[in-house]
């Protein structure tokens, strides 16, 4: 009240700046919407009722990366760090869940490729560009995510499937559900490697489908001791280690289907309780340590239980 000139000047000054900021904000928001629209328009959408590897332009042995959250693409970064895309194709796949009453391909393109998928793929492309590498993008309508991943990997002839570590499940649980979907899929089923990548780039590796199990060192030593003892006997000089394993599995199968089934189950439960590693637990791997190279010669990874 005592300095009216300063007060009036201050109010006018604040009003002018408020008007400038308001106009600037509206202009920038308009530019942002235009830039966002231009980014989304860069995607060329191709819809098909059947997924065909040749039609999509992918080579066999590609790596399928399941993406869901555009704020959690660390597993895609890990793949690009360890894969030479000149030799191996990388496919980023998003599964769009459909209701039980909807047909698998009865959705419009707007329903399948929504604003969320556009944002998700925009982030994925940005990650690939930061590494100077190329990726392919794929949206698959599905009623079950695990079945969609298995079927897509089979149709694309993928050698590896990569997923980020779930906030609700362990890597072992993710592998279990994926393996169950693989077992439930009919027809010719392609085996592949499944990797779960945590935000700190630790990787758990699993093989989906029948595979050679990882044996403990004491089990290998036991087979070798038996082999040494048996090959001293006449007529068994040419026996192989695998013959002992084959006979042991055959006897196990006979006893499991016979009267000793309950006893075998109790023994297995005791072994499981004593084991420090749960059945099916993956191994933490680093391809650079395994191969000694920055780029692996084949799709990651190559080992697992």
Residue 52 has what pLDDT? 77
- Where does the pLDDT of residue 35 fall: very low under 50, low under 70, confident under 90, or very high at 90 and above? low
Do residue 80 and residue 141 come from a single domain?
yes
- SS3 state at 150: helix
Please enumerate in sequence order all residues whose Cβ is within 8 A of that of 93, keeping only pairs 6 or more positions apart, or say none. 64, 65, 66, 67, 138, 139, 140, 149, 152
DSSP secondary-structure letter at 143?
A: S
Do residue 12 and residue 115 come from a single domain?
no
Residue 42 has what pLDDT? 57
The answer on pLDDT for 106 being more than 60 is no
Do residue 103 and residue 146 come from a single domain?
yes
Residue 274 has what pLDDT? 73
DSSP H helices in the chain: 4-41, 53-56, 74-82, 109-112, 115-130, 145-155, 171-184, 217-230, 241-256, 261-274, 287-291
The whole-number average pLDDT for the span 127-131 is 94
- SS3 state at 287: helix
Do residue 192 and residue 241 come from a single domain?
no
DSSP secondary-structure letter at 188?
A: S
Q: Is 300 domain-assigned?
A: no
Looking at the 3D structure of the chain, how many domains does it have?
3
Task: Give tens-digit pLDDT for 202-235.
Answer: 999 999 987 777 788 999 999 999 999 999 999 9
Range of the domain at 267: 217-273
Lowest-confidence pick of 165-179, 181-195, 219-233: 181-195
Residue 46 vs residue 128, higher pLDDT:
128
Do residue 106 and residue 155 come from a single domain?
yes
Residue 66 vs residue 97, higher pLDDT:
66
The residue assigned the tokens 């993956």 is 282
DSSP secondary-structure letter at 85?
A: T
Do residue 127 and residue 34 come from a single domain?
no
Residue 41 has what pLDDT? 45
The answer on pLDDT for 161 being more than 80 is yes
Q: Is 287 domain-assigned?
A: no
The answer on pLDDT for 133 being more than 80 is yes
């Amino acid at each position: 009240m005592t300095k009216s000139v300063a007060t009036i000047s201050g109010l006018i000054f604040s009003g002018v700046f408020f008007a400038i900021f308001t106009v600037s904000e509206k202009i920038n928001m308009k530019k942002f919407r235009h830039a966002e629209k231009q980014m989304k328009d860069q995607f060329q959408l191709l819809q098909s009722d059947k997924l065909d590897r040749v039609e999509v332009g992918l080579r066999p042995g590609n790596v399928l990366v399941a993406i869901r959250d555009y704020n959690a693409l660390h597993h895609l970064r890990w793949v690009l760090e360890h894969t030479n895309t000149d030799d191996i194709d990388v496919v980023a796949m998003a599964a769009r869940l459909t209701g039980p009453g909807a047909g698998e391909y009865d959705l419009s393109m707007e329903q399948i490729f929504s604003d969320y998928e556009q944002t998700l793929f925009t982030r994925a492309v940005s990650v690939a560009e930061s590494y100077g590498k190329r990726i392919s993008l794929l949206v698959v309508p599905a009623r079950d995510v695990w079945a969609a991943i298995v079927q897509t990997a089979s149709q694309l002839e993928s050698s590896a499937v990569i997923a980020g570590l779930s906030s609700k499940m362990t890597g072992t649980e993710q592998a279990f559900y994926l393996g169950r979907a693989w077992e439930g899929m009919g027809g010719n089923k392609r085996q592949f490697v499944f990797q779960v990548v945590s935000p700190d780039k630790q990787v758990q590796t699993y093989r989906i489908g029948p595979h050679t199990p990882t044996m403990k060192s004491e089990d290998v030593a036991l087979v070798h001791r038996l082999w040494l003892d048996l090959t001293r006997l006449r007529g068994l000089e040419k026996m192989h280690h695998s013959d002992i394993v084959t006979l042991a599995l055959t006897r196990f199968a006979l006893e499991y289907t016979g009267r000793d089934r309950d006893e075998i189950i109790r023994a297995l439960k005791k072994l499981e309780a004593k084991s420090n590693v749960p059945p099916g637990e993956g191994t933490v791997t680093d391809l650079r340590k395994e191969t000694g190279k920055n780029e692996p010669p084949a799709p990651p990874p190559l080992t697992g239980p």
